[in-house]
Amino acid sequence: MKKDTVNAKSNELGFGSKNVSGRNRFLNKNGKINIRRKGKNFMESFDVYHTLINMSWIKFLLLIVASYIVVNIIFAGVYYYLGAKSFGNIEVSDPVKSFEDLFFFSAQTLTTVGYGYVYPKTAAVSSVAAVESLIGLLIFAIATGVLYGRFSKPNATILYSEKMLVAPYKGITGLMFRIANPKRNELIEIEAQVTVSMINRETNSRSFLQLPLELSRINFLSINWTVVHPIDETSPIYGMSQEDLLAAEVEFIIMIKAMNDTYSQTVYSRSSYVADEIVFGARFKSFDIKPGNKGRTIVDITALSEYDTVELPVERVAAGSV
């Protein structure tokens, strides 16, 4: 294992240098920071807008539908408590049918549709209906704003290769991974930064070292980009085997910055790889690129994570890495 990392550029990411046992990764594969803060009460730590914007579409739609049903059930219960006889065109003798009619009356009031088949006849139920109409306006105004925020939020939906490879590279070896853009928009001015997090066994503290890359910036991500860190004598992982990486609890933290030409805004993407997600002696397969109609080029990105097994250079084998 290489101990001399003086020449490596230190890069404090904000995770601190304390050694957290258990090989917990700092950054999940989906880019979310794997840290939960404690010490505050629920109201101080809860952010409604952040939660609604960042939850999945399935959860968001289920929440909207569930909230709509629950609100109407609550108001239907209030109307039923005030008395079904306070409404016109409701069959009072059938409790189930009465509650059903009141539920749909609540839905019409909440959405301000108001068909008029069922109508309030007393001041009490009219007052509740007026309050429900106001609540409905506020709820749908908020829901519309959140929905717009979700649609208009610029993001970089970048695909990462499932594995990081240690492959032959210009007579030595290189640590590499691949990224691609699956969307129809274009990402321009793409910048990559790779930081390795590892345990220093002498001090039992964690270091964050920025890895120099073959290319740290490209102009277009039209096909794919294989990001390469040359593993030479100056690399902090030079001479390390996969067992060494596991012992050092290594995590490679990836940060991508690009310009989304649809929104003309800067977008970010994050991911990470841990030691058991690194394959020694492999090379990525080439993409299938074919000419298409109207002079276009068709790129099949399904091979993003596919690789072939290869022999590493003798110098690497001599270092005890395989």
pLDDT digits (tens), the chain, 322 positions: 444 444 455 566 666 555 555 566 777 777 677 666 666 666 666 778 888 888 889 999 999 999 999 999 999 999 999 999 999 989 888 999 999 999 999 999 999 888 888 999 999 999 999 999 999 999 999 999 999 888 877 777 889 999 999 999 998 999 999 999 888 888 899 999 999 988 877 777 788 889 999 999 999 988 889 999 999 999 999 989 889 998 888 999 999 999 988 778 888 999 999 999 999 999 999 888 788 777 777 888 888 999 999 988 865 443 444 4
- pLDDT of 25 reads 74
- Residue-wise DSSP of 133-179: HHHHHHHHHHHHHHHHHHHH------EE-SSEEEEEETTEEEEEEEE
d(CA 117, CA 89): 7
Q: Top-level CATH class of 10-36+155-318?
A: mainly beta
For residue 3, give both structure tokens.
């101990």
- The beta-strand segments (E) located in 148-264 are 159-160, 164-169, 172-180, 187-200, 205-210, 217-220, 225-231, 251-260
Q: Which has the closest alpha carbon to 221: 256, 251, 255?
A: 256
Q: Which has the closest alpha carbon to 129: 76, 85, 90?
A: 76
CA angle 294, 185, 295 (to 5 degrees): 10
Per domain, the residue ranges of the chain are 10-36+155-318, 47-152
d(CA 268, CA 285): 26
Helix (H, G, I), strand (E, B) or coil at 197: strand
CA distances 144 to 65, 138, 171, Å, are 14, 10, 57
How many other β-carbons are positioned within 10 Å of the β-carbon of residue 99?
Answer: 16
In residues, how long is the chain? 322
- pLDDT of 184 reads 81
Helix (H, G, I), strand (E, B) or coil at 29: coil
User: Quick one: CA dihedral 11, 245, 282, 301, positive or negative?
Assistant: negative
CATH number for the segment(s) 47-152: 1.10.287.70
Contact (CB, 8 A) for 156 and 134: no
d(CA 105, CA 92): 15
CA distances 190 to 7, 145, 215, 253, Å, are 26, 31, 11, 17
- pLDDT of 7 reads 44
- pLDDT of 35 reads 64
- pLDDT of 198 reads 87
